[in-house]
């Protein structure tokens, strides 16, 4: 008898049930991509709500009588009176290596016509950022390949660096260069077989851009052999606001997967101004009270909870990192507007791009004086630090004096010298987009500048001189460049060799 009881008990224990509690409701109204559903008792904030035809919504307003859901995907078939049910799941997206090289929408569905995305795991799009304990301070460089950035505004893995500027000042280009340079470094690093090499995988989130622009970006990444290390998450201007709202969180979840698996990832949010505008639109439809510039009161939290998720984890937690490059578009250079000030205060520094500089042909149009990186210098490559530590000071001194010098008064020789060097530095820092430099070349160029090899070349000829310098070094001093490439502090011997090489180039150039 007892045995029979035991058998029954153990069988009952082993029974697995698929039973899930879900509640079913009815749509009472649909408008502007928002459905109000009655009868969804027990719906959670941010829960996925299933509608007819495989459409999902996100429960954002939990009212006493109804739940307001923002709808995602193709919502044309959603009508009043249809049913809707809770899923018990928070909104999640596919994650993993299988997403590399793919273009997906805000829910991780493929947009590139190359079949289903290969994944075995999903991550919730919203997640609490790592606290203080699992984190470590930034100590590894993220090389952008942009000389001005790597030298004066260095970025470290796990950092959040804002790219900010007016329309058409080259914001996207700076971010894409960073992605393209990671791909270049990945190729090199994997080829070298160095077991310590850490690739950086990129995620580019396009928010509210025209489809044609997104297509050009994808094409560029492909041409530069960078797409295979990149995930593109696209929510174009043609899509409804909820997709734009979700896209950065979805991209972030994909980036977190790399970080939590001990790898390094870089994520670009292009741009968060449009993200804020989408959120404002949703909030107005949901009839949430609005405040300054008609944004809802929690718009700060919108971006802080996103950017807090970028981190560098300590070795007990796998040592992975997620570096974030959010982009903000300003109007007439006004960085004191609501959204720009918010995001400036959330990030670890900003790269400020200016229309005037851009139009003067100073590209990348970085306003050096107001661009900073608050944590990256701890991670800067040592040899690069050696040759660039005085650069920012020299640049700002030059800017100050150059403003006076235009009045044409007599200048003393010291002032003339500072202005002369500044004029040349400005030229040296000019760099076309899509042409990232290796860090060893950056070091060599700045070493030559620091040791006055460019001082007696006419300003007009500097661009040509830099090009000749690069070609000469690549052709003749490949070995020396790879010695520099180790990045460790340069000793006297190496400096001596560099000096001799610079002198040899100079002779050939003259």
Taking CB under 6 A as the rule, does residue 347 contact ligand ATP? no
Region from 28-36, 185-193, 412-420, 431-439 binding ligand ATP, contact rule CB under 6 A: 431-439
Q: Which one, 364 or 422, has the nearer CB to Mg ion? A: 364
315 binds ligand ATP (CB under 6 A): no
Angle between the N-to-C axes of helices 241-260 and 299-307, in degrees from 0 to 180, rounded to the nearest 10: 30
- Segment near ligand ATP (CB under 6 A); pick from 169-177, 243-251, 302-310, 397-405: 169-177
Which stretches of 43-140 are assigned E, i.e. beta strand? 47-51, 56-62, 66-72, 83-90, 92-95, 103-104, 121-124
Q: What SS3 state is found at 235?
A: strand
What's the rounded Cα separation, in Å, for the pair 89 and 241? Answer: 22
Give the Å distances, CA to CA, from 398 to 206, 228, 395, 455.
37, 42, 5, 14
> Is residue 181 a contact point for ligand ATP (CB under 6 A)?
no
For position 332 contacting ligand ATP by CB under 6 A, the verdict is no
Q: How crowded is the C-beta side of 266, counted as CA atoms within 13 Å? A: 31
CB 321 within 8 A of CB 139: no
Q: Is 274 in the site for ligand ATP (CB under 6 A)?
A: no
| CB-nearer residue toward Mg ion: 87 or 433 | 433
3-state DSSP assignment of residue 470: helix
Instruction: Give the nearer residue to Mg ion in terms of CB position, either 172 or 342.
Output: 172
Least CB distance to ligand ATP at residue 270 (A) = 7
Quick one: which segment of 239-247, 379-387, 409-417, 426-434 binds ligand ATP (CB under 6 A)? 426-434
Closer residue to ligand ATP, CB minimum distance, 151 or 259: 151
Q: Which residues contact 131 (CB under 8 A, 6 or more apart)?
A: none
Toward ligand ATP, which CB reaches closer, 169 or 242?
A: 169
H or E element, residue 27: strand 24-31
Report the nearest approach of Mg ion to the CB of residue 175 (Å). 8
Asked if 329 interacts with ligand ATP (CB under 6 A), we say yes
Question: What are the backbone dihedrals phi and psi of residue 348, each rounded to the nearest 5 degrees, phi first?
Answer: -95, 15
Taking contact as CB under 6 A, which single stretch among the options 112-120, 130-138, 161-169, 450-458 is the one that binds ligand ATP? 161-169
Ordered alpha helix ranges (H), 286-409: 299-307, 338-346, 355-359, 382-388, 391-405
Residue 130 binds which of ligand ATP, Mg ion, none (CB < 5-8 A, kind-dependent) = none
> HSE on the CB side for 50, CA within 13 Å?
10
Using rule CB under 6 A, residue 172 touches ligand ATP = yes
What angle, 0 to 180 degrees and rounded to 10, lies between the N-to-C axes of helices 272-285 and 338-346?
120
**Parallel, antiparallel or unpaired: strands 230-235 and 200-207:** parallel
Contact status: 168 vs ligand ATP (CB under 6 A): yes
364 binds, among Mg ion, ligand ATP, none (CB under 5 to 8 A by kind): ligand ATP
Beta carbons within 10 angstroms of residue 123's beta carbon: 22
Q: Which of 169, 342, 438, 440 binds ligand ATP (CB under 6 A)?
A: 169
Q: Catalytic annotation on 374? A: yes
Q: Report if residue 450 touches ligand ATP, rule: CB under 6 A.
A: no
| Binding residues for Mg ion (CB under 5 A) | 172
DSSP 87-112: EEEE-EEEESGGGTT-EE-TTS-B-S
Binding site partner of 33, from Mg ion, ligand ATP, none, Cβ cut-off 5-8 A by kind: none
Is position 326 an interface residue for ligand ATP (rule: CB under 6 A)?
no
Nearest alpha carbon to residue 311 among 141, 159, 200, 124: 159
**Which listed option, Mg ion, ligand ATP, none, makes contact with residue 329 (CB within 5 to 8 Å by class)?**
ligand ATP
Closest to Mg ion by CB, 172 or 236: 172
Of 36, 374, 421, 476, which residue is the catalytic one?
A: 374
**Interface residues toward ligand ATP, by CB under 6 A:** 165, 167-173, 329, 363-364, 431-433
Catalytic site residues? 374
């Amino acid at each position: 008898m007892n045995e029979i009881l035991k058998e029954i008990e153990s069988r009952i224990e082993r029974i697995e049930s698929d039973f899930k509690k879900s509640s079913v409701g009815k749509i009472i109204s649909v408008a502007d991509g928002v459905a109000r559903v009655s009868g969804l008792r027990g719906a959670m904030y941010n829960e996925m709500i299933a509608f007819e035809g495989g459409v999902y919504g996100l429960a954002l307003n939990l009212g006493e009588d109804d739940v307001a859901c923002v709808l995602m995907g193709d919502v044309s078939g959603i009508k009043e009176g249809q049913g809707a049910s809770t899923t018990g799941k928070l909104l999640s997206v596919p994650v993993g290596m299988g997403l590399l090289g793919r273009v997906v929408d805000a829910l991780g569905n493929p947009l590139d016509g190359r079949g289903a995305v290969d994944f075995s795991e999903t991550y919730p799009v919203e997640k609490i950022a790592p606290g203080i304990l699992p984190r470590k301070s930034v100590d590894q460089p993220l090389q952008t390949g942009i000389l001005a950035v790597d030298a004066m505004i260095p970025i470290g893995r796990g950092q959040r660096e804002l790219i900010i500027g007016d329309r058409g000042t080259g914001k996207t280009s700076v971010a894409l260069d960073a992605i393209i340079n990671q791909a270049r470094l990945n190729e090199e690093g994997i080829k070298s077989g160095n077991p310590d090499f850490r690739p950086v995988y990129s995620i580019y989130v396009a928010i509210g851009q025209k489809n044609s622009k997104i297509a050009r970006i994808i094409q560029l990444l492909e041409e530069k052999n960078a797409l295979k290390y990149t995930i593109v998450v696209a929510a174009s201007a043609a899509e409804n606001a909820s997709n734009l709202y979700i896209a950065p969180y979805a991209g972030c979840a994909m980036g977190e997967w790399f970080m939590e698996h001990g790898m390094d990832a870089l994520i670009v949010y292009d741009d968060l101004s449009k993200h804020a505008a989408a959120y404002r639109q949703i909030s107005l439809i949901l009839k949430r009270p609005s405040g300054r510039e008609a944004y809802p009161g929690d718009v700060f939290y919108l971006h802080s909870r996103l950017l807090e998720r970028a981190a560098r984890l300590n070795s007990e937690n796998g040592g992975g990192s997620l570096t974030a490059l959010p982009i903000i578009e300003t109007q007439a250079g006004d960085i004191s507007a609501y959204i720009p000030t918010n995001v400036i205060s959330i990030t670890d520094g900003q790269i400020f791009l200016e229309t005037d500089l851009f139009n003067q042909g100073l590209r990348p149009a970085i306003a050096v004086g107001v661009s900073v990186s608050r944590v990256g210098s701890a991670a800067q490559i040592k040899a690069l630090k050696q040759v660039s530590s005085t650069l920012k000071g020299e640049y700002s001194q030059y800017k100050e004096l150059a403003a006076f010098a235009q009045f044409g008064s007599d200048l003393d020789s010291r002032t003339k010298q500072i202005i002369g060097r500044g004029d040349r530095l400005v030229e040296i820092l000019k760099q076309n987009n899509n042409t990232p430099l290796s860090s060893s070349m950056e070091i060599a160029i700045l070493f030559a500048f620091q040791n006055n090899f460019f001082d007696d070349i006419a300003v007009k000829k500097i661009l040509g001189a830099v090009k000749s310098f690069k070609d000469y070094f690549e052709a003749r001093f490949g070995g020396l460049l790879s010695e520099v490439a180790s990045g460790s502090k340069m000793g006297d011997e190496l400096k001596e060799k560099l000096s001799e090489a610079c002198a040899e180039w100079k002779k050939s150039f003259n």
